[in-house]
Amino acid sequence: MSQPRCIDPEKIIPISRSTTGVFKTGTWGGHFPEYREKLSTCRGACPAGEDIPSYIALARDGDLEGAFYKIAQENPLPSVCGRVCYHPCEQDCLRRDVDEAVPIHRVERFVGDYGLDNLSFPEPIKSAGAAVAVVGSGPAGLSCAYHARRLGCDVTIFEERELLGGMMRLGIPAYRLPRAIVDRSVAMILATGIKTRSGFRLGDAGTWEELDRFDAVFLALGAQGALTPPFPGIELSGVIGGLEFLKQVNMGQRSEVKGSVVVMGGGNTAIDAARVALRLGAETTILYRRSRQEMPASAEEISDALREGAALLERALPVGVESANGDLKITCARTEAGNADESGRLSYAPLEGSEFTLTAGTLIVAVGQSVEVICGGGRPAIGPQPMTVEPFLRIAGQNYFAGGDMAPIPRRLCDAIASGKLAALSMSAMIGGLDMETIWSRVNVGRGGAFSMEEYLSGKESPSPRLKEAVTAAQIKPEWLAGSPRPEPSRLSAREAARGFDEVVGDPSPEELAASCGQCVTCGSCIGCDRCYLFCPEIAVIPPEEPGGAYSGNREYCKGCGVCAAVCPRGVITMGEGT
Amino acid sequence: MKKFITGNHSVAEAVRLCRTQIVAAYPITPQTPIYEKLAEWDAKKELGGMMMRVESEHSAMAACLSASLAGARTFTATSSQGLALMHEMLFFAAGCRTPVVMACVNRTLAGPWAFWSDQTDTLSERETGWIQIYCEDNQEALDSVIQAYRIAEKVLLPCMVIIEGHFISHFMEPVEVPDQELVDSFVPPVAIPNRFDVDNPGFAVPVVSQKEYFHYRQLMQEAMDYSLGIIAQVDAEFRETFGRGYSLVEAVQMEDAELALVTTATITSTARVALKRLREKGYKVGLVKIRVFRPFPVKALREILDGIPRIAVIDRNISLGREGIFCSELKAALIHSPAPHLVQGYVAGIGGTNVDPELIERIVADALARKEATDGPIIMTEES
């Protein structure tokens, strides 16, 4: 017996295979969704403009090679940055609104080390027919050399010392950045075909003439002069500058320190000096004139120093030093907070009558660095103040550019690397007669000073939306985020750490990498999750034909309900106005 | 195996025996023990299917109809306020042509708040497109759930099996719980159309035009008509397999009856006692039990009642402003009878009040003495 039509499964209910049927629900809506990728806040905060969400996604998918080359589009030193950059990216990570920031630096370190072990930078494919000189081989100089080489320039690095690396080698202690990492990172950059000239100290006319032969010159000499506070006894033999102390230890010229140590200062140099003094066996006290919360050093480094046994005296500063029985008698004063200074921080002045005395073998003064004065010989005058440069780091009217710690930018590793990259682009534009303003509007990242070299080299005319408008916390949907705790890196115990110069923070394991990558929601970037397509009640979201393509909307049926935007965890789809 | 169990327990036994795959329900007195019994088996891994926790009856029905659209055999149970909350989804379940099976335990609707048997809750859902079966006792409750799966999955309409609060839900009776093998031979493996095909995605039950809507409603009406035959056929097969059956409508001693007493559900049991006494006193009274209310068994009723001059209908429900709902339905069903009947409606047992044999005898006496019927119902209470 044939089935009556009233129970025929194919006839009893309507099923639409393409649209939601007869009603052109698109006529109902006043608001329509906009599919637009956005800048991830981490990338917006990275001075080097690294495409963080992309490399994390690649690493998550197991493509470590892809992840490494993605970072290398912007920064040739991921193994270094993964260890010692203070990761402003994590400060701006939107995940902090939910629980904690994605541990981006750990991913960068894993990917960077993978690259050092397995990969090399590609040789430049084109020649610009131009020769540039880079003076100084710290992070700024190396970054500039690397990017200038990518832009097809013939590059020569001039360096005073035998070994390249600048502050990565002289300033940062090995327990934070093993020397093998510096050696291999430098070698990898040089292997792209960069010439080096060591034993070069800029100064006399001959050295300037040598540089004048280049089409463009990038000066990245650093800030290696010590600021010295004006108190009596500063010249005594037991008193030493923080950076000088670190250099002596890092260059193997010093393996001991006299007596107990007092470190004056609250920046990273002070903390590094204190931790190095501890490792040389000294009882160490840090004196800082403001409170611990106001210390410019990384909070992690401060707590590591204290864990390893350093003492911290807040709101105190030395006001005079005398020599007494072979020791230093340091007169200190308590401070009291006054008005805010130019930087917005409270100024602290010695409190009269609060003096007390500390006895120490060594006083390390780490209160800041200046640019070393170098005779200009008619060329740009250098030091002690930061160089005056135009927005794209050119020294006005000359073929000279300046970056890194000698330029008026934050004295951080990431900013130095960023300035080297910017100088490379800026030099290339000058040589090629291109307008930097025009280039900049296309390639700059967000509203900050970073730009994307990848975007520049792509040659695309319209910039990727992933570089411009930043995604906001309100646009991402934390309810879709997995609630796993941020993985903690392995580290040496304080006792083991203080015993020597072994790296304190351990290598990330593959499990830590997976957990770290898993925390990233890839905010601002579409990963093709299909959520908008699946949740749209009108089947009005049209998925891309090829993976990686954009989703579009069927206006005949999109009634503007906003479900797609509500379920997009990454803030790519937002509701717009009108048609 | 004979078990001494409540009506709620009987329903749960049937749900398990039918290898139900998804149970989504929300507790409400007096239905809760069904849910609890199934949950207890689930906790002991003896249920076989999956219990799904939901936050309301509305969600329970949404879950069941969705699971059913995905091809699963589903069950839920509710009462009174819960059923009222589900109202919107009942239309959806029927309109999506999903063979969801639901036990409804009749209970008064608030306010005022009360917990006792009253059929108005389920009868209020008569327009939703659900098949409705009203049960007289615990055994019929168990058997009707088994039949309901066969019926619903054949005609692709949802089916309510209705038992009265407390009188069935909580009273214990000896119940024959059939063997799993026997039930397996009667209820086939699940073959409900799966509307969710990931390889051929589509929008099930989208917006349609006026004409299309009318068309699908017409198909539902046809399916309801068609299901009358299926319900009878399933009941006949059940009788062959299990040795028990119920029919759409049951006639008792109607051969020579001058008056038909029409009842439903548990009042029928009491009426059977009253009928025995009335017959002993010489009254030519018969009894008609309406078991299936949707679709309404007009033909079966007319075959029994066409030649009967007097009809008394007892309703434990009331459509306020009119009369008992079975009475109204019956009057409409008999409009084409060759000779007119005197049909008198009685409303009794509202709020779960007792309807005893004496009250039924008084109703019969009234109906036999009556020259003409009243337009509205006669309200009968124990005291009057």
Please check whether residues A136 and A194 belong to one and the same domain.
yes
User: Hey, are the CB atoms on A22 and B212 less than 8 Å from each other?
Assistant: yes
Would you say residue A454 lies in a domain? Answer: no
Q: Which of B128, B43, B125, B29 is nearest to B77 (CA)?
A: B29
B22-47 residue pLDDT tens: 999 999 999 999 999 999 999 999 99
- Tokens 């500058």 correspond to A241
Q: Which residues contact A224 (CB under 8 A, 6 or more apart)?
A: A243, A369, A371, A372
Q: How far is CA B50 from CA A423, B18, B39, B145, B283, in A?
A: 65, 13, 10, 18, 54
Report chain B residues whose CB lies below 8 A from the CB of A25.
207
Would you say residue A443 lies in a domain? Answer: no
Asked if the C-beta of B204 comes within 8 angstroms of chain A's C-beta atoms, the answer is yes
Please check whether residues B292 and B316 belong to one and the same domain.
yes
pLDDT band at residue A478, thresholds of 50, 70 and 90? confident
pLDDT band at residue A378, thresholds of 50, 70 and 90? low
pLDDT of residue A205: 83
- Percent above pLDDT 90 for chain A: 72
DSSP 8-state secondary structure symbol assigned to residue B213: H
Please check whether residues B217 and B131 belong to one and the same domain.
yes
Q: Mean of the pLDDT values across residues B260-286?
A: 98
Q: What share of chain B is helix, strand, coil (3-state, %, to 5)?
A: 45, 20, 35
Q: Mean of the pLDDT values across residues A420-431?
A: 97
Rounded CA separation A360/A258 (Å) = 8
Report chain A residues whose CB lies below 8 A from the CB of B93.
none
Please check whether residues B329 and B279 belong to one and the same domain.
yes
Which of A13, A530, A533, A538 to mutate against chain B (most B CBs within 10 Å)?
A13
B345-362 residue pLDDT tens: 999 999 999 999 999 999
Ramachandran angles phi, psi of A409, nearest 5°: -130, 165
- Categorise residue A21: left if φ over 0, alpha if ψ from -120 to 50, beta otherwise: left
Å between A10 CA and nearest CA of chain B: 9
Please check whether residues A211 and A238 belong to one and the same domain.
no
The better pLDDT of the pair A189, A25 is held by A189
Ramachandran angles phi, psi of A427, nearest 5°: -65, -45
- The CATH code of the domain that includes A553 is 3.30.70.20
Rounded CA separation A244/A366 (Å) = 9
Please check whether residues A150 and A220 belong to one and the same domain.
yes
Q: How far is CA A419 from CA A140, A143, A147, in A?
A: 6, 8, 11
Rounded CA separation A141/A423 (Å) = 9
Asked if the C-beta of B127 comes within 8 angstroms of chain A's C-beta atoms, the answer is no
Residue in chain A lying closest to B157 (CA): A7
* pLDDT above 70 (res B245): yes
Å between B202 CA and nearest CA of chain A: 4
Report chain A residues whose CB lies below 8 A from the CB of B154.
7
ipTM, 2 decimals? 0.92
CB A219 within 8 A of CB A387: yes
Rounded CA separation A261/A358 (Å) = 10
Please check whether residues B90 and B166 belong to one and the same domain.
yes
User: Hey, are the CB atoms on A7 and B206 less than 8 Å from each other?
Assistant: no
Asked if the C-beta of B95 comes within 8 angstroms of chain A's C-beta atoms, the answer is yes
- The CATH code of the domain that includes A398 is 3.50.50.60
Please check whether residues B311 and B353 belong to one and the same domain.
yes
Report chain A residues whose CB lies below 8 A from the CB of B209.
22
Please check whether residues A233 and A272 belong to one and the same domain.
yes
Would you say residue A464 lies in a domain? Answer: no
Q: Which of B188, B207, B242 is the last residue of a domain?
A: B242
Å between A450 CA and nearest CA of chain B: 44
Amino acid identity, position A135: V
Q: How far is CA B65 from CA A295, B159, B212, in A?
A: 62, 12, 22
Q: Mean of the pLDDT values across residues A96-101?
A: 88
A369 burial via Cβ count (<10 Å: 0-12, 13-18, 19+) = buried
Q: Which of B200, B206, B226 is nearest residue A14 as measured by Cβ atoms?
A: B206
User: Hey, are the CB atoms on A15 and B216 less than 8 Å from each other?
Assistant: no
pLDDT averaged over every residue in chain A: 92
B contact residues 205-224, partner A, Cβ 8 Å cutoff: 205-209, 212, 216, 219-220, 222-223
pLDDT of residue B330: 98
| Token couple for B342 | 């005197």
Rounded CA separation B333/B328 (Å) = 9
pLDDT band at residue B199, thresholds of 50, 70 and 90? confident
Residue in chain A lying closest to B99 (CA): A7
Amino acid identity, position A226: A
Would you say residue A67 lies in a domain? Answer: yes
The better pLDDT of the pair B324, A352 is held by B324
pLDDT band at residue A479, thresholds of 50, 70 and 90? confident
Residue in chain A lying closest to B191 (CA): A9
Please check whether residues A145 and A249 belong to one and the same domain.
no
pLDDT of residue A20: 67
pLDDT of residue A482: 67
**How many structural domains is chain A composed of?**
4
| Token couple for A509 | 């394991």
Domain, as residue range, for B25: 2-242
pLDDT of residue A23: 74
Q: Where is average pLDDT lowest: A22-36, A114-128, A281-295, B19-33?
A: A22-36
Tell me the H-state helices in B117-176: 120-123, 138-155
Q: Which residues contact A112 (CB under 8 A, 6 or more apart)?
A: A68, A71, A77, A78, A79, A80, A81, A82
pLDDT band at residue A460, thresholds of 50, 70 and 90? confident
Please check whether residues B292 and B166 belong to one and the same domain.
no
A196-255 residue pLDDT tens: 999 999 988 889 999 999 999 999 999 988 888 888 888 899 999 999 999 999 999 999
Report chain A residues whose CB lies below 8 A from the CB of B95.
13
- The CATH code of the domain that includes B271 is 3.40.50.920
User: Hey, are the CB atoms on B203 and A22 less than 8 Å from each other?
Assistant: no
pLDDT of residue A578: 57
Please check whether residues A201 and A242 belong to one and the same domain.
no
DSSP 8-state secondary structure symbol assigned to residue A26: G
Please check whether residues B156 and B118 belong to one and the same domain.
yes
Q: Where is average pLDDT lowest: A165-179, A197-211, B41-55?
A: A197-211
Report chain A residues whose CB lies below 8 A from the CB of B201.
17
Which of B96, B203, B212, B230 to mutate against chain A (most A CBs within 10 Å)?
B203
Rounded CA separation A402/A288 (Å) = 32
pLDDT band at residue B384, thresholds of 50, 70 and 90? low
Is residue B131 helix, strand or coil? strand
Å between A476 CA and nearest CA of chain B: 27
Q: Mean of the pLDDT values across residues B158-175?
A: 98
Q: Which of A6, A14, A25 is nearest residue B205 as measured by Cβ atoms?
A: A14
Would you say residue A495 lies in a domain? Answer: yes
**How many structural domains is chain B composed of?**
2
Q: Which residues contact A99 (CB under 8 A, 6 or more apart)?
A: A483, A485, A486
Rounded CA separation A536/B366 (Å) = 63
- Tokens 């160490």 correspond to A284
User: Hey, are the CB atoms on A17 and B201 less than 8 Å from each other?
Assistant: yes
Q: Which of A337, A367, A397 is the last residue of a domain?
A: A367
- Tokens 């068609």 correspond to B226
CB B163 within 8 A of CB B148: no
Please check whether residues A296 and A413 belong to one and the same domain.
no
Please check whether residues A533 and A493 belong to one and the same domain.
no
Q: What is the helix (H) or strand (E) element at residue A431, kind and residue range?
A: helix A413-432
Residues in chain B: 384
Q: Are strands B131-134 and B159-164 parallel, antiparallel or unpaired?
A: parallel
Please check whether residues A214 and A192 belong to one and the same domain.
yes
Q: Which of A4, A16, A25 is nearest residue B202 as measured by Cβ atoms?
A: A16
pLDDT of residue B339: 95
User: Hey, are the CB atoms on B203 and A13 less than 8 Å from each other?
Assistant: no
Q: Which of A9, A12, A21 is nearest residue B206 as measured by Cβ atoms?
A: A21
- The CATH code of the domain that includes B208 is 3.40.50.970
* pLDDT above 80 (res A47): yes
User: Hey, are the CB atoms on A15 and B195 less than 8 Å from each other?
Assistant: yes
Q: Which residues contact A398 (CB under 8 A, 6 or more apart)?
A: A379, A380
Q: Which of B207, B219, B220 is nearest residue A20 as measured by Cβ atoms?
A: B207
Please check whether residues A259 and A360 belong to one and the same domain.
yes
Q: Which of B177, B176, B158 is nearest to B104 (CA)?
A: B158
Would you say residue A456 lies in a domain? Answer: no
The C-alpha angle B24, B152, B291, rounded to 5 degrees, equals 100
Q: What share of chain A is helix, strand, coil (3-state, %, to 5)?
A: 35, 20, 45
pLDDT of residue A403: 96
Amino acid identity, position A116: L
Domain, as residue range, for A402: 131-224+371-434
Q: Which of B56, B100, B47 is nearest to B75 (CA)?
A: B100
pLDDT band at residue B209, thresholds of 50, 70 and 90? confident
For the beta carbon of residue A387, count every other beta carbon within 10 angstroms. Answer: 21
Please check whether residues A33 and A50 belong to one and the same domain.
no
* pLDDT above 70 (res A451): yes
Q: Mean of the pLDDT values across residues B128-132?
A: 98
pLDDT of residue A377: 65
The better pLDDT of the pair A377, B299 is held by B299
User: Hey, are the CB atoms on B212 and A14 less than 8 Å from each other?
Assistant: yes
A2-20 residue pLDDT tens: 789 999 999 999 988 777 6
Q: Are strands B131-134 and B292-294 parallel, antiparallel or unpaired?
A: antiparallel
Please check whether residues B336 and B365 belong to one and the same domain.
yes
Would you say residue A446 lies in a domain? Answer: no
CB A521 within 8 A of CB A570: yes
DSSP secondary structure of B252-294: ES-TT-SEEEEE-HHHHHHHHHHHHHHHHTT--EEEEEE-EEE
Please check whether residues B149 and B260 belong to one and the same domain.
no
Asked if the C-beta of A19 comes within 8 angstroms of chain B's C-beta atoms, the answer is yes
pLDDT averaged over every residue in chain B: 96
pLDDT band at residue A350, thresholds of 50, 70 and 90? confident
B287-346 residue pLDDT tens: 999 999 999 999 999 999 999 999 999 999 999 999 999 999 999 999 999 999 999 999
Q: Which of B242, B273, B293 is the last residue of a domain?
A: B242
pLDDT of residue B309: 97
DSSP 8-state secondary structure symbol assigned to residue A97: G
Q: Where is average pLDDT lowest: A16-25, A525-534, B238-247?
A: A16-25
Please check whether residues B157 and B12 belong to one and the same domain.
yes
Å between B218 CA and nearest CA of chain A: 9
Report chain A residues whose CB lies below 8 A from the CB of B155.
6-7
User: Hey, are the CB atoms on B203 and A6 less than 8 Å from each other?
Assistant: no
Q: How far is CA A292 from CA A202, A299, A300, A348, B334, in A?
A: 39, 9, 12, 13, 94
Please check whether residues B333 and B237 belong to one and the same domain.
no
Q: What is the helix (H) or strand (E) element at residue A285, kind and residue range?
A: strand A284-288
Q: Which of B95, B97, B207 is nearest residue A22 as measured by Cβ atoms?
A: B207
| Token couple for B317 | 């429900």
Rounded CA separation A572/A311 (Å) = 49
For the beta carbon of residue A327, count every other beta carbon within 10 angstroms. Answer: 16
Q: Which of B242, B273, B301 is the last residue of a domain?
A: B242
Q: How far is CA B245 from CA B146, B235, B270, B306, in A?
A: 12, 6, 19, 24
* pLDDT above 70 (res B91): yes
DSSP 8-state secondary structure symbol assigned to residue A537: T
Please check whether residues A340 and A240 belong to one and the same domain.
yes
Asked if the C-beta of A460 comes within 8 angstroms of chain B's C-beta atoms, the answer is no
Report chain A residues whose CB lies below 8 A from the CB of B98.
none
Is residue B1 helix, strand or coil? coil
User: Hey, are the CB atoms on B195 and A4 less than 8 Å from each other?
Assistant: no
Q: Which of B200, B203, B219 is nearest residue A6 as measured by Cβ atoms?
A: B219
The 3 state secondary structure assigned to A131-197 is EEEEECCCHHHHHHHHHHHHCCCEEEEEECCCCCCCHHHHCCCCCCCCHHHHHHHHHHHHCCCCEEE
Q: CB pairs below 8 Å between A and B: how many? A: 65
User: Hey, are the CB atoms on A20 and B206 less than 8 Å from each other?
Assistant: yes
For the beta carbon of residue A85, count every other beta carbon within 10 angstroms. Answer: 27
pLDDT of residue B354: 95
Amino acid identity, position A396: A
